[in-house]
Amino acid sequence: DVKVTQSSRYLVKRTGEKVFLECVQDMDHENMFWYRQDPGLGLRLIYFSYDVKMKEKGDIPEGYSVSREKKERFSLILESASTNQTSMYLCASSLGGGQANEQFFGPGTRLTVL
Amino acid sequence: LAKTTQPISMDSYEGQEVNITCSHNNIATNDYITWYQQFPSQGPRFIIQGYKTKVTNEVASLFIPADRKSSTLSLPRVSLSDTAVYYCLVGGGNNRLAFGKGNQVVVIP
């Protein structure tokens, strides 16, 4: 079974703090994704990566950056957290070779910025 | 992005067949149609994917007409545990996949 793990289920940070959300997958997948999910807005793509050190902006990249130094790990970074970044963050991975490949999701991190 | 349109929510009684429609008028020639299911406090889970005509697996069926501008996910004999949000995604070819807001399905006893 594919396993995607996220470093925390719940996280509380203060405005202006630098926040790191970590995601690790164990199936040697090439593609990794970061989404945020908010009530009434569904899932929105923040960033994705097709390979190590590769990254592409999604629909809402402002205020976020990412890092992929190893194939199995994809980190989402909030350089200076703001209250409007309070949300559920979901990481996913999929095989390379096509964007339509099945995505496997982690359990999510619920981030609260005070 | 290929825009998809789904109903916001729908109710169904336990044991009935549920059909969820999705419109995707600007689907590209090489795009696929993919459906995911999401339970509360979990990430989405892949259900089914198709390109044209009909696809069936152990969970659902996917019907795609010849013009591919819409699709219908069919869940046979739903149970209470099928209460979830269902997302229709179009992409993988010229269009990047996007989840959208999904369709909340509530199964009533």
Pick the residue from chain A with its C-alpha nearest to B35: A102
Helix (H, G, I), strand (E, B) or coil at B81: helix
> Given CB atoms, is B97 within the 8 Å cutoff of chain A?
yes
Say which of A45, A101, A108 has its CB closest to residue B98.
A45
Q: Do A41 and B101 touch (CB under 8 A)?
A: yes
> Given CB atoms, is A45 within the 8 Å cutoff of chain B?
yes
pLDDT in tens, A45-93: 999 999 999 999 999 999 999 999 999 999 999 999 999 999 999 999 9
pLDDT in tens, A13-26: 999 999 999 999 99
Say which of B31, B34, B42 has its CB closest to residue A107.
B42
Q: Do B101 and A40 touch (CB under 8 A)?
A: yes
> Given CB atoms, is B43 within the 8 Å cutoff of chain A?
yes
pLDDT in tens, B74-97: 999 999 999 999 999 998 876 678
Q: Do A43 and B87 touch (CB under 8 A)?
A: yes
Query: So what's the pLDDT on residue A97?
Result: 77
> Given CB atoms, is B50 within the 8 Å cutoff of chain A?
no
- What would you measure as the largest C-alpha separation in chain B, in angstroms? 42
What DSSP string runs through A69-103? EETTEEEEEESS--GGG-EEEEEEEE-SS-TTSPP
